[in-house]
Structure 1
Amino acid sequence: MLGKGTRLLAAAAAVVACVVLVGPTGPSGAHFARPLPVDAVKDVVPNRVMTWNICNPCEESNINRAAEIATYAPQVIGLQEACVRDVEKIRDYLELLYGLDYHVRYGAVLRNWGRCGGAPWSPGAYGQAVLSAAPMTDRVVVEYPDGGSEDRGYMAVTTLVGGRSVRVFNTHFAERRQEAVRAGQARVLAAEIARYDRAVVLGDFNAVPDAPELAPVWSLATDTDPECHPSPVGACTTTTDWHSKFDYIFLRGISPLRHRVEPSPHSDHHLVHADLAPI
């Protein structure tokens, strides 16, 4: 495992090498050190949490992914469909290019060469990851007994949000048209959430709000989108390119202040972030 200083030097060298070889833009025309919007925040927002399925396999630049995250600079970010190597680069670019320093913990449940590359006999690790501006403790990684068409699971860590200790979960449920599998996954996850008075549950649940399989989670928590409920009422904001609400920030024992969905050209899922009320 490379030390932090070595990783940052490697990331800096990679950026310089790319600029030297191909100029200020890559093959897709995206700038390597992408400038942030004028209204981007300048530092980590202590009470902000985010969930984002970063899309995999997708031919996307980790510098662009880092720029998307830096624009909103949450205290805690849950990533799904994440390869360890990609997350390492995202974290390094957040610090090198935007001055945002994050800790990272991984929740890989699968090793897959097609998704994450690496040597055929040593493929990259794939699953979830949590980035936090504060240190994280008590990490657990659980693979669901039935992942459906692909191994799936959840991870959990304890970290600070708004200056208070919170249990943070990050999950990715089974793909669409696997309702019975997701129902089992929801029961496993809900049993663990129920152990905590205060929890933030991030993830791609691959189910719309009124899907019956989400009932165990809804019984314990509420979504930060005030229009989203387990009954088909309200104008719930969609979170995917196919206009479905699959991505959630569930809260237990915590109230939301603001909820935003930010479409991204770099994934088929939008970034979802919320600012939380004082805990």
Structure 2
Amino acid sequence: MVLARGRWLLAGAMTVVCMLLVGPSAPGGALFVRSLPVDAVGDVVSNRVMTWNICNPCEVSNVDRAAEIATYAPQVIGLQEACVRDVERIRDHLESLYGLVYHVEYGMVLQHRGRCGGVPWNPGGFGQAILSAAPMTDRVHVEYPDGGSEDRGYLAVTTLVGGQPVRVFNTHLAQRRQEAVRADQAGVLAAEVARHDRAVVLGDFNAVPDAPELAPMWALAADTDPQCRPSPAGSCEPTTDWQSKFDYVFLRGLTPLEHRVRPTQYSDHHLLHTDVDPA
């Protein structure tokens, strides 16, 4: 009897150990999967694009990040502060748990063990990523000449939005209180965006709409929110926990239909997605 009880205790302990080793981001671990809201989108929305700074370093499960994305199922997602390993797992979870299949392109600006783990001789890549339900071509990855306190850059691809080819950019500008650096970065980005008649520019610009450094972008494109403008008359919905608008979906040659800002417990930045008319 004592021997049998000992075997049961050992089996229970081994189960706990296995659960800890597998962790909450195991694709097959339905026990750890957060259920989607009843009004979640069932399949990819072909004309929807989204930007999300997923927060790093943050102790967040990639299963939960995938669930947030799956709730809105955009055609294209631009992620900032992303680690390659995290993006790989998010993409795997989107497919295995929700049946959403995405291609991925990376725009890493750092190999950083503190940010992304790994071993000293092979630290994880950190930067931007674009996920698209359609294949992506003509990838361009540019690091800004001056990243400020941390390397920064942009990633650009051509993919389909609403069935039409569109140039998609994803960027993360220099941290706050580095206005001059951001101004130079915005100028580099705007010069490339200007080459395309139809473009979507996603990202965390670390600047409020009327910040002077964003002038080059406003000259080329409009925010997805028609009420948001770089003037005191503009009404811009905050996209961060500190009630500032730092995250943008700039549209050039596309018309916004509907946008939403969705706070999330998994990042200090909200999810921002918009449906567009590619025609």
TM-score, normalising length: structure 1 = 0.90
Q: Confirm or deny that 1:35 pairs with 2:35.
A: yes
Whole-Å separation in 2 of the counterparts to 1:55 and 1:21: 25
- 1:65 corresponding residue in structure 2: 65
Q: Structure 1, unaligned stretches of length 5 or more?
A: 1-16
Partner of 1:7: none
Q: 1:166·1:199 contact (CA, 8 Å) conserved in 2?
A: yes
**Residue 21 (structure 1) aligned to one of 12, 19, 22:** 19
Matched ranges for 1:223-262 at <5 A: 223-262=223-262
Quote how far apart the aligned CAs of 1:120 are.
1.1
Match of 1:138 in 2: 138
Aligned letter for 1:76? V
Pairing 1:96-175 to 2, within 5 Å after superposition: 96-175=96-175
Shift of 1:154: 0.2
Aligned match of 1:86: 86
Flag the 1:226–1:18 CA change in 2: closer, same or farther, 3 A.
farther
In structure 2, stretches of 5+ residues that fail to align are 1-14, 25-29
- Aligned mates of 1:188, 1:105 — CA distance in 2: 21
RMSD: 2.0
Match of 1:83, as an amino acid?
C
Distance 2:130 2:166 in 1: 13
Q: TM-score, normalised by structure 2?
A: 0.90
* C-alpha spacing 1:19/1:248, structure 2 compared with 1 (3 Å): farther
Q: Secondary structure at the match of 2:214?
A: helix
- CA offsets, 1:67-116, max 9 Å, x none? 00000000000000000000000000000000000000000011111000
Which residue identity does 1:109 align to in structure 2?
V
Instruction: Judge conservation of contact 1:209–1:232 (CA < 8 Å) in 2.
Output: no
Aligned-pair CA distance for 1:234: 3.0
For 1:134 and 1:206, the matched residues in 2 are separated by 29
Question: How far 1:235 sits from its partner (Å)?
Answer: 2.4
Structure showing greater radius of gyration is: 2
SS of 1:192's partner is helix
| Kept in 1: contact 2:229–2:235 (CA 8 A) | no
Structure 2 SS opposite 1:159 = strand
Taking every aligned residue pair, what percent have the same amino acid on both sides?
Answer: 76
Q: Residues 227 and 176 from structure 1, CA distance in 2 versus in 1: closer, same or farther, beyond 3 angstroms? A: same
1:264-279 aligned within 5 A: 264-279=264-279
Find the aligned partners of 1:180 and 1:161 in 2 and give their Cα distance: 33
Distance 2:215 2:31 in 1: 44
Q: What's the counterpart of residue 8 of structure 2?
A: none
Looking at structure 2, the residues matched to 19 and 130 of structure 1 have their Cα atoms a distance apart, in angstroms, of 35
In the alignment, residue 67 of structure 1 is paired with which amino acid? A
Runs of 4+ in 1 over 6 A off after TM superposition: none
1:74 has 2:74 as partner: yes
Give the 5 Å matches for 1:197-216. Answer: 197-216=197-216
CA–CA separation in structure 2 for the residues paired with 1:270 and 1:245: 10
Residue matched to 1:219: 219
Shift of 1:31: 5.7
Partner amino acid, structure 1, of 2:252: R
Residue 259 of structure 2 contacts residue 274 of structure 2 at CA under 8 Å; is this kept in 1? yes
Deviation at 1:18, TM superposition (A): 8.5
